[in-house]
Amino acid sequence: MINKKVADIFYEVADMLELDEIDFKPRAYRRAARTIESMKEDILEYYKNENLRDIEGIGKALEEKIIEIIEEGRLEYLNDLKKKYPPGLLDVMKVPDIGPKTARKLFDELDVSDFKSLKKAAEADEISKIKGFGEKTQEKILRGIDMLEKISGRHLLNEVLPLADSLIEYLEPDAEMIEKAGSLRRSKETIGDVDILASGDSSKLMDSFSDYADVDEVLVKGETKTSVRMLGGVQADLRVVDKESFGAALQYFTGSKEHNVELRQIAIDQGYKLNEYGLFSKNDEKKVAGEDEESIYEKLGMDWIPPELRENRGEIEAARNSELPQLVEIDDIKGDLQCHSDWSDGVNTILEVGRAAQEKGYEYIAITDHSESLTVAGGLDKQEIQEREEEIRSAQEELDIKLLSGIEVDIKKDGSLDMDHETLEGLDIVLGAVHSNFRMEVEDQTKRITDAFSTGLIDIFAHPTGRKIGEREPYKVDMREIVKSAKDNSVVLEINASPQRLDLDSLDAREAKDKGVLISLGTDAHGLQHLDFMKYGVGIARRGWLEKDDVINTLSYEELIDFLKER
User: What is the contact surface with Zn ion in residues (CB under 5 A)?
Assistant: 433
CA distance linking residue 294 with residue 446, whole number of Å: 44
Picked from ligand DGT, Ca ion, Zn ion, none, the partner binding residue 255 (CB below 5 to 8 A depending on kind) is ligand DGT
CA distance linking residue 281 with residue 273, whole number of Å: 6
Contact map string, positions 245 to 264, toward ligand DGT, x by CB under 6 A: -------xx-xxx--xx---
Contact 483, 517 (CB under 8 A): yes
Q: Of 189 and 418, which has the nearer Cβ to ligand DGT? A: 189
Position closest to Zn ion via CB: 433
Contact map string, positions 337 to 376, toward ligand DGT, x by CB under 6 A: ----------------------------------------
Q: Of 69 and 157, which has the nearer Cβ to ligand DGT? A: 157
Picked from ligand DGT, Ca ion, Zn ion, none, the partner binding residue 433 (CB below 5 to 8 A depending on kind) is Zn ion
Could you write out the three-class secondary structure of 426-494? HCCEEEEECCCCCCCCHHHHHHHHHHHHCCCCCCEECCCCCCECCCECCCCCCHHHHHHHHHHCCCEEE
Minimum distance of ligand DGT from residue 319's CB (angstroms): 18
Q: Is 363 in the site for Ca ion (CB under 5 A)?
A: no
CA distance linking residue 374 with residue 385, whole number of Å: 14
If one counts every other C-beta atom within 10 angstroms of the C-beta of residue 206, the result is 21
Q: Of 224 and 383, which has the nearer Cβ to ligand DGT? A: 224
Q: Is 189 in the site for Ca ion (CB under 5 A)?
A: no
Q: Is 296 in the site for ligand DGT (CB under 6 A)?
A: no
Minimum distance of Ca ion from residue 184's CB (angstroms): 7
Q: Of 217 and 398, which has the nearer Cβ to Ca ion? A: 217
Minimum distance of ligand DGT from residue 116's CB (angstroms): 22
Q: Is 113 in the site for ligand DGT (CB under 6 A)?
A: no
Which stretch of DSSP H or E encloses residue 365?
strand 364-370
Q: How many residues bind Ca ion (CB under 5 A)?
A: 6
Contact map string, positions 166 to 185, toward Ca ion, x by CB under 5 A: ----------------xx--
Q: Which of residues 167-196 bind ligand DGT (CB under 6 A)?
A: 182-183, 188, 191-193, 195
Tell me which residue of 174, 184, 179 sits closest to 196, measured CA to CA. Answer: 179
Minimum distance of ligand DGT from residue 120's CB (angstroms): 27
Q: Is 193 in the site for Ca ion (CB under 5 A)?
A: yes
Minimum distance of ligand DGT from residue 26's CB (angstroms): 33
Q: Is 195 in the site for Ca ion (CB under 5 A)?
A: yes
Question: Please, which residues have CB within 8 angstroms of residue 239's CB and are 6 or more apart in sequence?
Answer: 181, 195, 196, 197, 198, 224, 225, 249, 253
Position closest to ligand DGT via CB: 255
Minimum distance of Ca ion from residue 215's CB (angstroms): 16
Q: Is 237 in the site for Ca ion (CB under 5 A)?
A: yes
Minimum distance of Ca ion from residue 183's CB (angstroms): 5
CA distance linking residue 328 with residue 334, whole number of Å: 12
Tell me which residue of 219, 199, 200, 201 sits closest to 210, measured CA to CA. Answer: 219
Q: Is 480 in the site for ligand DGT (CB under 6 A)?
A: no
Contact 229, 219 (CB under 8 A): yes
| Cis geometry, peptide bond prior to residue 404 (ω within 30 degrees of 0) | no
Segment near Ca ion (CB under 5 A); pick from 149-157, 237-245, 355-363, 447-455: 237-245
Contact 369, 380 (CB under 8 A): yes
The residues with which 493 forms a beta bridge, in sequence order, are: 461, 519
Question: Please, which residues have CB within 8 angstroms of residue 356's CB and are 6 or more apart in sequence?
Answer: 348, 528, 531
Question: Please, which residues have CB within 8 angstroms of residue 179's CB and are 6 or more apart in sequence?
Answer: 185, 196, 197, 198, 250
- Three-state SS at 362: coil
Minimum distance of Zn ion from residue 453's CB (angstroms): 17
Tell me which residue of 526, 528, 471, 530 sits closest to 497, measured CA to CA. Answer: 530
CA distance linking residue 139 with residue 129, whole number of Å: 12
Q: Of 260 and 450, which has the nearer Cβ to ligand DGT? A: 260
Minimum distance of ligand DGT from residue 7's CB (angstroms): 25
Contact 409, 433 (CB under 8 A): yes
CA distance linking residue 435 with residue 344, whole number of Å: 15
Segment near Ca ion (CB under 5 A); pick from 19-27, 90-98, 171-179, 189-197: 189-197
Q: How many residues bind ligand DGT (CB under 6 A)?
A: 14
The contact set with ligand DGT (CB under 6 A) reads: 182-183, 188, 191-193, 195, 252-253, 255-257, 260-261
The contact set with Ca ion (CB under 5 A) reads: 182-183, 192-193, 195, 237
